[in-house]
Amino acid sequence: MQTKTLGHFGPQVAPVMLGGNVFGWNIDAAQSFAILDAFVGAGFNFIDTADVYSRWKPGNHGGESESIIGQWFARSGKRDKVILATKVGMDLGDGKKGLARKYILQAVEDSLRRLQTDYIDLYQSHQDDESTPIEETLAAYQQLIQQGKVRIIGASNYKAPRLREAIEIAKRESLPVYQTLQPEYNLYDRADFETNLQPVAKEFGLGVIPYFSLASGFLTGKYKTKEDSKGANREARVVKYFDARGLRILKALDEVAAETGASQATISLAWLLAQPTILAPIASATTVKQLESLIAAPSLTLIAGALNKLTTASSY
What does the DSSP 8-state code read for residue 297?
A: G
In this structure, the strands spanning 12-13 and 4-5 are antiparallel
Q: From CA 41, how far away is CA 211, in angstroms rounded?
A: 23
Using DSSP, state whether 57 is helix, strand or coil.
Answer: coil
Among residues 87, 94, 92, 97, the alpha carbon closest in space to that of 121 is found at 87
What is the residue type of 119? Y
Query: What kind and span of H or E run contains 269?
Result: helix 264-273
Using DSSP, state whether 188 is helix, strand or coil.
Answer: coil
Phi, psi of 302 (to 5 degrees): -75, 130
Residues 6+ apart with CB under 8 A from 58: none
Q: From CA 158, how far away is CA 175, in angstroms rounded?
A: 18
Radius of gyration of the chain (CA): 19
Active-site residue among 53, 123, 141, 185? 53
- Please confirm, yes or no, whether 211 is among the known catalytic residues: no
Active site residues: 53
